[in-house]
């Protein structure tokens, strides 16, 4: 079972921290984003994401479970009827924290925590899966081709061919050596 954080909590007691997180989550769901201290935003983020995950289920039991934490029925209605459908495609990462500098009065570091309302792009998911598949295929090809590539390096046809990358490198290196010699000659002439 998870243990509460040791030492001082946000606001003093565990009960006060629980009430404060519930109020911050309620404000976040009603307004979409709130400005608070960085530590409060960091503590609020997993709390709010767990509540949103429960709301995505949409069942009566899930609604009652959320009402145990957030007792404001209007905030829970917004969460279940408006926000949960927008997060249907998203698998976590419902909130974003952006640091905004320090507060003027006590120089406390401040942050804006907001709900991520942009839809998940299906193209991004497909591209990510394709890149993973390409990397796996490349790794598999390297393991399969390694014995074959050793045989092809030993063959005399590949070394003598004009189109091989090795011959192109040797031509480039010869040209660069000639240009280096000519620049040295010019430097010596100037002296």
CA–CA separation, 27 and 18 (whole Å): 14
Least confident of 53-67, 93-107, 131-145: 131-145
Averaged pLDDT for residues 22-26: 96
Say which DSSP state 82 is in: I
Token pair 């890149």 is found at: 131
Averaged pLDDT for residues 37-55: 95
Between 7 and 151, the more confident residue is 7
Between 162 and 117, the more confident residue is 117
pLDDT at 127: 75
Is 5 contained in some domain?
Answer: no
Least confident of 77-91, 123-137, 167-181: 167-181
Q: Residue by residue, what is the 3-state secondary structure of 22-80?
A: HHHHHHHHHHCEEEEEHHHHHHHHHHHHHHHHHHHHCCHHHHHHHHHHCCCHHHHHHHH
C-alpha dist (Å) from residue 158 to 34, 97, 150, 168, 170:
66, 57, 12, 13, 14
Average pLDDT of the chain, as a whole number: 80
Averaged pLDDT for residues 174-191: 56
Cα 53 from chain centroid (whole Å): 19
Q: What is the tally of structural domains in the chain?
A: 2
Instruction: Give the end of a domain, one of 86, 118, 150.
Output: 118
C-alpha dist (Å) from residue 51 to 8, 25, 124, 184:
24, 9, 26, 73
pLDDT over 70, % of the chain: 71
Q: Which domain holds residue 182?
A: 123-190
Nearest C-alpha neighbor of 97 from the set 33, 52, 24: 33
Query: Against a cut of 0.75, is the pTM above it?
Result: no
Q: In terms of domains, do 21 and 108 share one?
A: yes
pLDDT at 66: 96
Q: In terms of domains, do 135 and 155 share one?
A: yes
CA–CA separation, 46 and 23 (whole Å): 15
Please check whether residue 26 is in contact with residue 72, taking contact to mean a CB–CB distance below 8 angstroms. Answer: yes
Instruction: Give the end of a domain, one of 118, 143, 165.
Output: 118
Q: State both tokens at 191.
A: 């002296």
Q: In terms of domains, do 58 and 143 share one?
A: no
CA–CA separation, 2 and 17 (whole Å): 16
Instruction: Give the end of a domain, one of 73, 95, 118.
Output: 118
Is 180 contained in some domain?
Answer: yes
pLDDT over 90, % of the chain: 50
CA–CA separation, 13 and 150 (whole Å): 68
CA–CA separation, 31 and 114 (whole Å): 9
For residue 90, the SS3 value is: coil
Residues 152-174 have pLDDT tens digits of 555 545 444 455 555 455 555 55
Q: In terms of domains, do 18 and 112 share one?
A: yes
Q: In terms of domains, do 111 and 130 share one?
A: no
Q: State both tokens at 47.
A: 């709390």
Say yes or no to pLDDT of 102 above 70: yes
């Amino acid at each position: 079972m998870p243990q509460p954080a040791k030492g001082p909590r946000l606001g003093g007691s565990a009960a006060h921290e629980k009430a404060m997180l519930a109020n911050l989550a309620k404000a976040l769901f009603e307004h979409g984003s709130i400005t608070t201290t960085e530590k409060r935003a960091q503590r609020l983020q997993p709390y709010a994401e767990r509540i949103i995950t429960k709301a995505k289920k949409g069942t009566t039991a899930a609604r009652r479970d959320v009402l145990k934490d957030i007792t404001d029925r209007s905030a829970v209605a917004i969460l279940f009827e408006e926000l949960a459908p927008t997060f249907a495609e998203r698998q976590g990462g419902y909130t974003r924290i952006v640091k905004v500098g320090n507060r003027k009065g006590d120089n406390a570091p401040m942050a804006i925590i907001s709900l991520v309302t942009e839809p998940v792009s299906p193209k991004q998911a497909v591209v990510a899966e394709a890149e993973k598949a390409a990397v796996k295929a490349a790794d598999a090809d390297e393991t399969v081709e390694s014995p074959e590539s050793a045989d092809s390096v030993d063959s005399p046809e590949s070394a003598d061919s004009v189109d091989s990358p090795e011959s192109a490198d040797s031509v480039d290196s010869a040209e660069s050596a000639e240009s280096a010699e000519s620049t040295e000659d010019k430097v010596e002439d100037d002296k």
